[in-house]
């Protein structure tokens, strides 16, 4: 078995991006009970009231934000979406964003009711928009990381092709090799950490992803109705857009966001693809600190 300590990799995160490391950060895993008996899990960083809530993308988990959290260096909460990480499965088999919003609202009320901002990357960003419909009082600032309602199946094809790849891998080297192939902007060390957080080893030595596979993603529902929600957002809104080819947001998406919500801000991160938190975590932390303040 490959050794794994959920809270034992933070020094590697810090070293890779040149952050000072004085010892293990204060971080704990929490579980929030939902009304139907399921539980939603998350990582609570720091000891004070969390300033921001971080929602990861599809097929990721709360640890995707680890380096961002280290660089942010203030209290925050990073949630595992339903059917991801240590959270129980979603109430809807396709992880419908509108059906997921009430679960996220419950977790935020329990762990970060006074957060300055909700930050959603990819699928997490679409859920953040849906949360505005369900519980707008929980969103004081909204941050979308490389996603808008205009992200369609074709735009996200490279992402879904990776997510819907083999169901299992015979060895750690095999799952690492596929991950490297599909994530050319990331370092091998960061991808190795990501696999340890996001996959589990079976007794026979094979590896499977933690997230629940949604094999109908190729026929994902039309989420363009969320553009109408963007029209109603009356809190500060920020789009953080990766500018490398791996981004799934294009100029038309950016223009539509600004047309529907003229007060929105857009920050373009030149050396990042879709996974801004993975490609440029320190820069993203700086952007979030500035916006949350």
Residues with catalytic roles: 122, 146, 274
Q: What is the token pair recorded at 123? A: 């699928």
How far, in Å, CA of 288 to CA of 273, rounded? 17
- Taking the C-alpha atoms of residue 24 and residue 8, their distance in angstroms, rounded to an integer, is 8
Contact between 11 and 76 under an 8 Å Cβ cutoff? The reply is: no
Cα–chain center distance at 52: 13
In the three-class reduction of DSSP (H, G, I as helix; E, B as strand; rest coil), residue 98 is classed as helix
The token duo for 88 is: 């129980």
158-194 core/surface letters (b: 16 or more CB in 10 A; e: else): ebbeebeeeeebeebeebbeebeeebebbeeebbbbb
How far, in Å, CA of 188 to CA of 159, rounded? 18
In the chain, beta strands by DSSP E: 27-33, 39-45, 52-55, 76-79, 117-121, 142-145, 199-201, 207-209, 237-242, 265-269
Looking at residue 81, the DSSP 8-state letter turns out to be P
């Amino acid at each position: 078995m490959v050794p794994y300590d959920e809270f034992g990799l933070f020094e590697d995160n810090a070293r890779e991006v040149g952050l000072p490391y004085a010892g293990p950060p204060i971080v704990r895993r929490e579980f929030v009970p939902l009304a139907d008996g399921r539980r939603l899990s998350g990582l609570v960083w720091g000891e004070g009231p969390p300033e921001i809530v971080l929602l990861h993308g599809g097929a990721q988990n709360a640890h995707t934000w680890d380096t961002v959290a280290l660089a942010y260096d203030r209290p925050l909460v990073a949630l595992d979406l339903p059917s991801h990480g240590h959270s129980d499965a979603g109430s809807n088999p396709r992880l419908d964003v509108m059906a997921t919003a009430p679960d996220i609202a419950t977790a935020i009320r329990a762990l970060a009711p006074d957060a300055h901002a909700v930050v959603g990357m990819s699928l997490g960003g679409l859920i953040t928009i849906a949360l505005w419909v369900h519980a707008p009082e929980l969103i004081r600032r909204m941050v979308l990381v490389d996603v808008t309602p205009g992200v369609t199946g074709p735009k996200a094809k490279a992402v879904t092709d990776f997510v819907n790849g083999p169901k299992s891998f015979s060895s750690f080297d095999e799952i690492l090799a596929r991950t490297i192939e599909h994530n050319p902007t990331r370092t091998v060390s960061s991808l190795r950490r990501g696999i340890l957080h996001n996959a589990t080893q079976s007794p026979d030595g094979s590896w499977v992803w933690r997230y629940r596979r949604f094999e109908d993603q190729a026929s994902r529902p039309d989420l363009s109705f969320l553009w109408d929600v963007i029209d109603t957002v009356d809190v500060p809104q920020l789009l953080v857009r990766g500018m490398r080819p791996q981004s799934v947001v294009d100029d038309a998406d950016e223009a539509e966001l600004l047309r529907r919500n003229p007060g929105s801000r857009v920050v373009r991160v030149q050396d990042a693809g879709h996974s801004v938190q993975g490609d440029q975590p320190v820069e993203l932390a700086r952007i979030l600190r500035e916006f949350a303040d």
